[in-house]
Amino acid sequence: RLPRGSGLWATVVYNQTRQQKRVRIFETGLRGVPDTQANLGIRQDLMLAGVICGNRYDEHWNLAKETVDFYDLKGDLEAVLDLTGKLGDIQFKAEMNPALHPGQSAAIYLKDERIGFIGVVHPELERKLDLNGRTLVFELEWNKLADRIVPQAREISRFPANRRDIAVVVAENVPAADILSECKKVGVNQVVGVNLFDVYRGKGVAEGYKSLAISLILQDTNRTLEEEEIAATVAKCVEALKERFQASLRD
């Protein structure tokens, strides 16, 4: 379902009818949930919801006119989640939602607990709500995130970081987030950064598969890593991906 109430949607339509071409809004509120353990049998959860639509940037002579997409809202939301100190425990997992566009929606998990969703509003609902063009929405159980834990500072390494890139071919239904998470888990002591910088489908990659290009940043806080150690950690990551996801290295 979409966030309850018409506040968000009415505000979007209000702005669109007044020629606002770049809309970013959010709201918080309480949601009543049946709970036999709660007072009067209803538990109240604090929710955070947001909507974006229209142009990615304000009009500018040096910027191409582009409309927002799933990753714009995901990036905005990750910036908010980073403030809670819990971004490292958040996962976005593909999920079908009848209110959202097929293939452009995801559930949001805090560790193993589902706490919300994100995605593109289904075209049929866009028409019913009188929305003009692609509209993206998220909703979160904010009470699960609001108990901020102040991150512990750690010493910045004086030793050089090393980047190694790998490209792995996996089945189309394997989430890239799971690949990155596995690399972080395997290289926990030396892999300080993992980034997906390219996704390729086409010549040289079998139908139903995709190639993920990933950068691994390796660094130690106490010493300079030797080339043999770096190679061994990268090989360990590749082996873990082969075992868990039947991944293969792309030539």
Structural contact between residues 85 and 148, judged by C-beta atoms closer than 8 angstroms: yes
Which tokens belong to 70?
Answer: 């799933």
Element (H, E) at 76: helix 70-83
Domains of the chain: 7-144 (3.30.930.10), 162-249 (3.30.70.380)
**CA pair distance 237, 174, nearest whole angstrom:** 16
Dump pLDDT digits (tens) for 146-202: 877 666 777 788 899 999 999 999 999 999 989 999 999 888 778 999 999 999 999
105, HSE (Cβ side, Cα atoms, 13 Å): 20
CB neighbourhood size of 118 (10 A):
23
Structural contact between residues 118 and 135, judged by C-beta atoms closer than 8 angstroms: no
Element (H, E) at 196: strand 191-200
CA proximity to 177, closest of 196, 163, 191: 196
pTM of the full predicted structure? 0.69
Dump pLDDT digits (tens) for 51-92: 999 999 887 778 888 999 999 999 999 999 998 888 889 999
Predicted local confidence at residue 149, as pLDDT: 64
Dump pLDDT digits (tens) for 9-38: 999 999 999 888 899 999 998 888 888 887
Question: 96-102: long-range contacts (C-beta < 8 A, 24 or more apart)?
Answer: 98/122, 99/1, 99/2, 99/125, 100/137
